[in-house]
Amino acid sequence: MAAPTPTLLLQLMLLLLIGAASVRAADMPMPVNEEVLGLVVFKSALSDPSGKLATWTESDPTPCNWPCVECDPATSRVLRLALDGLALSGPMPRGLDRLTALQDLSLARNNLSGPLPPGLSLLKSLRSIDLSHNAFSGPLPDDVALLGSLKYLDITGNAFSGPLPASFPPSLRFLMLSDNQFSGPLPQGLGKSSLLLHLNMSGNQLSGSPDFEGTLWSLSRLRTLDMSRNQFAGPVADGIARLHNLKTVSLSGNRFFGAVPKDMGLCPHLTSVDLSANAFDGHLPDSIAQLGSLVHLSASGNRLSGDVPSWLGKLSAVQHLDLSDNAFTGSLPDSLGDLKALSYLSLSNNQLSGSVPDAMSGCSKLAELHLSGNKLTSSIPDALFDVGLETLDMSSNALSGVVPSGSTRMAETLQWLDLSGNQLTGGIPAEMALFFKLRYLNLSHNDLRTQLPPELGMLHNLTVLDLRSTGLYGEMPSDMCESGSLSVLQLDGNSLAGPIPDSIGNCSSLYLLSLGHNGLTGPIPAAVSELKKLEILRLEYNHLSGEIPQQLGGLQNLLAVNISHNRLVGRLPSSGVFQSLDASALEGNIGICSPLVAEPCRMNVPKPLVLDPNQYPHGGDGGDNNNLETGGGGGAEGGPRKRRFLSVSAMVAICAAVAIIVGVVVITLLNVSARQRAEASAVTKKKKEEMMESAVTETTPPSSSTGKSSGGKLTAGKMVTFGPGSSLRSEDFVGGADALLSKATEIGRGVFGTVYRASVGQGRVVAIKKLATANIVASRDDFDREVRILGKAKHPNLLPLKGYYWTPQLQLLITDYAPHGSLEARLHPRQRARLRRPDHGRLPGGGGASRAQAGHGVHLADPVQPPVHGGGGPDTAGHQGARGRQNGSLLTPSSPSFLHRPQVLRALMLANVAVPCSCVLLDPLSLSLSREKLAAPVLYSSVTVG
């Protein structure tokens, strides 16, 4: 065998080396792709509930086969990363900076939070970034301006804050910054992004006065400008016409003021203009009439004034026109009927007047019409109901007439009808039941004066029915909730009567039931407890009675209840909102058992009074237990028996009954005791009178006018004298009764009695007045009290009273005799005889003035130097007295109201004390004398000869 050649050995050694190298190469790992590493790092810090990124592993040589990753087929470099809507959460991690070829990054609609990581500015190839609708916060990095290829940036709906970057990439076409928390002014560097097509910075807190002319109006390619819902202020400069391609502009929800830019109508492609919720004033610029492509125009919530422009009819393409909440005046222009494409029109809350033009029926596509809060009058045109309206709101005007019955077309389309706050009459048309799509009906605060039509229960889609203060009467229909769709039922402030129907329980969708301020009677139906969605229940100011259904406590959604000012009694439900009601929601009832109300607790159903609480077993269903109790539920089964006590109302009733019985007994005993004391007092008084009678029992002559007893004898009486130094005694009347009361001793006569002259012991002469009005005071005690007060009277023209004599048939007054004649005789000696006539002239006078009346004389206080006072004569006095009678200010002596007053007796006796000799009889008219103090009387009198 031949030996191997050196060449062969060399080849064998080379093969062995190659094999060993191959084995070592197979055992070593391949190098990791940078993009794979970056994406794995990015994924590792995120929460992925959907598991969409579960296949992202570092073992893969390339990410091009991973979900949500798109690569360049030629280079296998990642170009697009679409992770939107995967519910990813957590802070945004690092790692994306390794994707140097990335062009599109979309992380929209996730829950990513925290600030943006550094390094995004290294992705020079990025053309689109969509981070919208996440929870990113912090400032937007200034180095975003370094993304030279960036054309689309959308960070809408995050929590970015702080000022905007000083500038943005010049290549930017779409800049969406809305609904964040950016603040501060609008950066002037924004004007360098001259290629911008869409700029939306709405819903932030940007402020200051933007540089419209130098920054915004320089963005000549701009098609959409949205600055709404910020805090911008100041005027809006003219120059918007430079934005030749502008289609949409929204400045709403700021504080712009001044005039609307006059050249706004020179943007020929404008389709939407929103200037609402600012402070623009003046008129709408006429140039807007040139916007033939305008579809949406809103200038509501400003201070625009003047008439509604008639050129609005030229906006042939407009579909949405809102000029509400301004100060427009005048009437609605007929040209509005030319807006054939109009579907929404609102002129609410202006100062428009007049009627709604019939030309409005020309708006054949009109679906919503809002004219509320104006001063529109007249009736609602029937032609308006021929339009296929879905919403009609003409509330808070001065419309009159009847509610239109509507057309067949409107019945097929109408869903919302609000005519509240007008002056409509005539009831609710029955055709309203044909509006089968109607969801909202509000006719409140009109003067319909009708019964609640049961046809309304046929509206199967009706969710809100508001008929407050419309003059409804009668009872609530039982089929009001036949459809079960009602959510709100408001019938407050009417005259509804009768009970709440049990069928109210069919309103299973109700969350607001308001029936207050009516005349509803009967109990609250237990069917209300079937309204499981009920949140508000108002039944105040009715005549509801009985107890509150305990089942109402089971309404878990009930938040507010008002049952005040009814006739409800009994316990509140022990659960739910009833345990936390305010006192005002319960007041004004008969007796609700609650510590929140002051009224006493009452139970409507009579319950047996259990005096022995141990007589009945405790526990069981309380529904069959009628015992009055203070509350509390049963204990656990098999537990110890608890004592049950009387309720507060029962104890109050028992105490009241006992108090009434005791009161009746006490009053009866007091009456019996008082009657016995009165009888004893009468017996004692009679005995005292018998002991006090005097021995003066003289017989009165038949011809005299004195009172007589049976048998012609005077009843024995007593003479009482008083005053210092008085010496009169019964035995001093030496002449006896015949001499005392004889015609021979008579010296004067008047309407109140006769005056006699009498001699007493030791030659003393006195004047005695026998009163003719003996029946004024039948009691000697009363007579004695009045005369003693009279005896204290002091007056220059009155003689002092010396005493009196009293029997039931005869009363005498005793004074000194005045021998100097009468005052009348001194004043009118020639007319003495003429003045004796019974026609009593009255002479008014005060203390010290002349006083006279026919048939009486005034005795002077000083018999030696009688004072004579000047005054009017009899003619003057008579004239004044007659005038007093005509005015109704004087009482005549024969008046019953005059003779039956104790004060009149005192005045009468006062007037007649001064009569002994001169015989001036006084007519005490209009006297008012107290029992304790005698004021100086004003006496009217005339003079006669005694």
Position 855: which residue type? Answer: G
Position 134: which residue type? Answer: N
Strands 811-816 and 764-771: antiparallel
Q: What does the alpha-carbon distance between residue 294 and residue 582 come to, in Å, rounded to a whole number?
A: 55
Q: What does the alpha-carbon distance between residue 669 and residue 440 come to, in Å, rounded to a whole number?
A: 72
CB 766 within 8 A of CB 752: no
Q: Is 26 exposed, middle or buried (0-12, 13-18, 19+ CB in 10 A)?
A: exposed
Q: Count the neighbouring beta carbons within 10 Å of the beta carbon of residue 671.
A: 10
Alpha-carbon distances, residue 933 vs 439, 485, 633, 721, 903 (angstroms)? 85, 84, 73, 21, 11
User: What residues have CB less than 8 Å from 624, skipping those under 6 apart?
Assistant: none
CA R_g for the chain: 56
Position 661: which residue type? Answer: I
Q: What does the alpha-carbon distance between residue 71 and residue 110 come to, in Å, rounded to a whole number?
A: 23
State both tokens at 407.
Answer: 């057309």
Strands 536-538 and 152-154: unpaired
Q: What does the alpha-carbon distance between residue 627 and residue 615 come to, in Å, rounded to a whole number?
A: 11
Q: What does the alpha-carbon distance between residue 217 and residue 220 come to, in Å, rounded to a whole number?
A: 7
Q: Is residue 802 marked as binding?
A: no
State both tokens at 373.
Answer: 């809060």
Which three-class secondary structure state does DSSP give residue 428? Answer: coil
State both tokens at 454.
Answer: 């049961």
CB 805 within 8 A of CB 812: yes
Q: 412-431 in b/e burial notation, b at 16+ Cβ within 10 A?
A: ebbbbbbbbbbebeebbbee
Q: What does the alpha-carbon distance between residue 125 and residue 129 come to, in Å, rounded to a whole number?
A: 11
Q: Is 830 exposed, middle or buried (0-12, 13-18, 19+ CB in 10 A)?
A: exposed
Q: Is 373 left (phi over 0), alpha (psi -120 to 50) or beta?
A: left
How many CA within 13 A on the CB side of residue 362? 14
Q: What does the alpha-carbon distance between residue 911 and residue 859 come to, in Å, rounded to a whole number?
A: 11
Q: What does the alpha-carbon distance between residue 660 and residue 652 come to, in Å, rounded to a whole number?
A: 12
State both tokens at 240.
Answer: 């918007």
CB 60 within 8 A of CB 36: yes
Which alpha helices (DSSP H) does 500-601 contain, by range?
none
Q: What does the alpha-carbon distance between residue 259 and residue 282 come to, in Å, rounded to a whole number?
A: 6
State both tokens at 254.
Answer: 């700021």
- Partners of 669 in beta bridges: none
Q: Positive or negative CA dihedral for 581, 584, 585, 588? A: positive
Q: Which of 132, 118, 119 is nearest to 160 (CA)?
A: 132
State both tokens at 564.
Answer: 């005040």
Q: Which of 4, 62, 2, 68 is nearest to 33 (CA)?
A: 62
Q: What does the alpha-carbon distance between residue 547 and residue 593 come to, in Å, rounded to a whole number?
A: 10
CB 157 within 8 A of CB 134: yes
Determine which helix (DSSP H) or strand (DSSP E) holds 836, and give its type and residue range: none
Please state the residue numbers annotated as binding site for ATP: 770
Please state the residue numbers annotated as binding site: 770
